[in-house]
């Protein structure tokens, strides 16, 4: 098959912002083996659903680039908003996720040192302290929204503490991250003044990151940003511009995904009869629960790549310049691998997944994220053994694909727990 402009208008009506927002996987399962690579006009991308095809793309940096890997808004943005979106990070340096070799290799080698298993282990007591503090705070309410009261603030505070960002900035960082999501994934028109406000928020985010990097260059502290700049434990350094551009990425990539994973895990496990009791009494381990959550609904369900040359993927001939969406989340739902991929059952079968990607862009924070998620489960199981979902309709996913974020998850403690 070869791609021409007529075929661009064909393809499959995959709509993860609308009809398939809560469950993109049934649609993908419907196409199954017959069409493992299909064109989705709404995303203007070729969707790749089989592990072997994704891995082939991820291993081939001669034919595929990560330069344009983020989702795009399908709404035409006002010119000043587009300009701010192009420039908010500052001129020059690119975030690690958009780099191709050899630049990617140089930057990633320095970043890696901050997230090795040994460094994550050394930081674990801090993660535990943050989880315990937040659990204590939410435990004061009989009912709360798990996403906004625990998952998001927890994940944000953890990555900010690792970077060395003072707590007074947490609220602003939360707002800026939200504004970034809205602008990147916007699929329907909205008030131009609202877009301008979001874009100005991003400009502030970029300015904040640059000023923080300059501050740490001038007066280093015992934190990751200083280490990246000062030849500390890393043994190599980045320039102040290179560090400034990584800061928003580390904050964003480091907290949205973990918060989403917690949302999925708690929704599924609390929703299964007796499920939370099995976690509390240790029949289900935090590790199994985390892996099953990552498999069942991978928090970053996909990422884009661009074909640099005419190339074949999964038997489909693509023209140079084609955009591909590697649907990492589909790997966990592969019926060739798992008898019942749509069921959530931690520990019962292998939770094989591709939730952290693969190849040179494999998630920088995979060990960190797994630790962070396991600690949250352990701490909450100990502090809130009676946690339960508030009865009601199932929570909706936000229209922010390929992020898989629940909009809210109302939970409660049983009456006896309230008065502990
Ligand atoms: C459950 C949580 C997480 C999930 C599911 C996740 C998922 C992913 C995936 C799928 C990729 C590959 C993207 C691609 O192929 O283009 C990635 C890359 C990345 N992740 Fe994560 N991530 C998580 C947590 C974190 C954390 C905690 C950090 C903080 C350090 C982080 C930082 C990054 C960075 C910087 C990259 C880009 C790496 C590169 O391009 O070399 N992630 N992540």
Distance 297 CA to ligand 1 centre (A): 15
The best mutation among 98, 124, 130, 253 to test binding of ligand 1, ranked by most ligand atoms within 8 Å of the C-beta, falls on 253
Say which DSSP state 396 is in. Answer: P
Question: What residue has token string 């007529």?
Answer: 6
Distance 50 CA to ligand 1 centre (A): 20
Contact of 146 with 411, CB cutoff 8 Å: yes
Averaged pLDDT for residues 17-39: 92
pLDDT at 4 over 60: no
| Residue 244, φ and ψ in degrees, nearest 5 | -55, -35
Contact of 236 with 110, CB cutoff 8 Å: yes
- Classify the C-alpha dihedral 235-241-247-250 as positive or negative: negative
In angstroms, what CA-CA distances link 216 with 211, 233, 304, 334?
Answer: 9, 15, 33, 46
Q: How far apart are CA 192 and CA 66, in angstroms?
A: 30
pLDDT digits (tens, 9 = 90+) for 204-248: 999 999 999 999 999 999 999 999 999 766 678 899 999 999 999
> Is the CB of residue 262 below 6 angstroms from any atom belonging to ligand 1?
no
pLDDT at 74 over 50: yes
Q: How far apart are CA 50 and CA 41, in angstroms?
A: 19
Residue 309: both structure tokens together:
């040359």
Question: For residue 1, what pLDDT is reported?
Answer: 43
Question: For residue 174, what pLDDT is reported?
Answer: 96
Q: How far apart are CA 298 and CA 284, in angstroms?
A: 20
The mean pLDDT of the chain is 92
> Is the CB of residue 300 below 6 angstroms from any atom belonging to ligand 1?
yes
Averaged pLDDT for residues 39-54: 95
Distance of CA 100 to the CA centre of its chain: 20
pLDDT at 416 over 50: no
| Residue 410, φ and ψ in degrees, nearest 5 | -70, 130
Beta strands in 208-318 (DSSP E): 303-307, 311-313, 316-318
Distance of CA 305 to the CA centre of its chain: 16
Q: Where are the alpha helices (DSSP H) in 76-231?
A: 79-87, 103-112, 117-139, 146, 152-163, 170-185, 192-218, 224-229
pLDDT digits (tens, 9 = 90+) for 93-114: 789 999 999 999 999 999 999 9
Distance of CA 165 to the CA centre of its chain: 20
Question: What residue has token string 């229209």?
Answer: 399
Question: For residue 166, what pLDDT is reported?
Answer: 94
19 SS3 class: coil
> Is the CB of residue 365 below 6 angstroms from any atom belonging to ligand 1?
yes
The best mutation among 323, 363, 369 to test binding of ligand 1, ranked by most ligand atoms within 8 Å of the C-beta, falls on 363
pLDDT digits (tens, 9 = 90+) for 309-355: 999 999 999 999 999 999 999 999 998 888 889 999 999 877 789 99
Q: CB burial class (10 A; 0-12, 13-18, 19+) of residue 91? A: exposed
Question: For residue 92, what pLDDT is reported?
Answer: 74
Q: How many residues in total does the chain contain?
A: 420
> Is the CB of residue 368 below 6 angstroms from any atom belonging to ligand 1?
yes
pLDDT at 415 over 60: no
Question: For residue 191, what pLDDT is reported?
Answer: 87
Say which DSSP state 249 is in. Answer: H
> Is the CB of residue 330 below 6 angstroms from any atom belonging to ligand 1?
no
Q: How far apart are CA 361 and CA 108, in angstroms?
A: 9
Which positions ≥6 away from 306 have C-beta within 8 Å?
A: 64, 65, 67, 68, 321, 322, 323, 324
pLDDT at 171 over 90: yes
Picking from 80, 60, 40, 12, the residue whose alpha carbon sits closest to that of residue 402 is: 40
Most confident of 71-85, 174-188, 369-383: 369-383
Residue 339: count other Cβ atoms within 10 Å of its Cβ. 8
Q: Domains in the chain, start-ordered, CATH in brackets?
A: 75-301+347-413 (1.10.630.10)
Q: Where are the alpha helices (DSSP H) in 3-151?
A: 5-8, 24-31, 51-58, 79-87, 103-112, 117-139, 146
Residue 133: both structure tokens together:
């503090």
Distance 327 CA to ligand 1 centre (A): 14
pLDDT digits (tens, 9 = 90+) for 148-162: 999 999 999 999 999
Picking from 240, 210, 215, 212, the residue whose alpha carbon sits closest to that of residue 228 is: 240
- Count CA atoms within 13 Å of residue 344 on its CB side: 21
């Amino acid at each position: 098959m070869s791609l021409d402009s007529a075929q661009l208008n064909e393809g499959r009506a995959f709509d993860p912002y609308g009809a398939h927002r809560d469950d993109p996987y049934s649609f993908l399962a419907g196409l199954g083996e017959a069409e493992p690579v299909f064109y989705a006009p709404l995303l203007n991308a070729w969707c790749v659903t089989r592990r072997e095809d994704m891995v082939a793309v991820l291993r081939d940096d001669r034919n595929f680039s990560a330069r344009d890997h983020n989702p795009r808004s399908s709404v035409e943005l006002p010119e000043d908003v587009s300009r701010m979106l192009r420039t908010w990070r500052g001129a020059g340096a690119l975030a690690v996720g958009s780099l191709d070799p050899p630049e990617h290799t140089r930057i990633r080698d320095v970043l890696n040192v901050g997230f090795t298993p040994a460094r994550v282990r050394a930081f674990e007591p801090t993660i535990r302290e943050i989880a315990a503090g937040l659990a204590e705070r939410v435990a004061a309410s009989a009912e709360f929204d798990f996403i906004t009261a625990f998952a998001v603030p927890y994940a944000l505070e953890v990555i900010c503490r690792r970077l060395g960002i003072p707590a007074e900035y947490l609220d602003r960082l939360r707002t800026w991250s939200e504004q970034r999501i809205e602008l990147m994934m916007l699929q329907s028109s909205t008030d131009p003044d609202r877009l301008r406000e979001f874009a100005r928020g991003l400009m502030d985010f970029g300015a904040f990151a640059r000023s923080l990097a300059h501050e740490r260059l001038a007066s280093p502290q015992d934190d990751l940003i200083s280490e990246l700049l000062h030849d500390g434990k890393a043994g190599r350094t980045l320039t102040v511009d290179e560090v400034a551009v990584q800061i928003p990425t580390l904050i964003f990539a480091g907290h949205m995904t973990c918060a989403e994973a917690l949302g999925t895990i708690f929704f599924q496990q609390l929703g299964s009869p007796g499920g939370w009791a099995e976690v509390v009494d240790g029949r289900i381990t935090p590790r199994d629960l985390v892996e099953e959550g990552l498999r069942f609904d991978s928090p970053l369900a996909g990422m884009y790549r661009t074909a640099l040359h005419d190339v074949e993927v999964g038997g489909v001939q693509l023209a140079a310049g084609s955009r591909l969406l590697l649907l990492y989340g589909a790997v966990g739902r592969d019926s060739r691998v798992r008898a019942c991929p749509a069921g959530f059952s931690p520990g019962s079968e292998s939770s094989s997944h591709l939730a952290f990607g693969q190849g040179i862009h494999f998630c920088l924070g995979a060990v960190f994220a797994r630790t962070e998620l396991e600690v949250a489960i352990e701490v909450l199981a100990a502090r809130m053994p009676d946690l339960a979902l508030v009865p009601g309709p199932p929570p909706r996913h936000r229209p922010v694909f390929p992020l898989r974020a629940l909009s809210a998850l109302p939970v409660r403690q049983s009456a006896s727990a309230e008065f502990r």
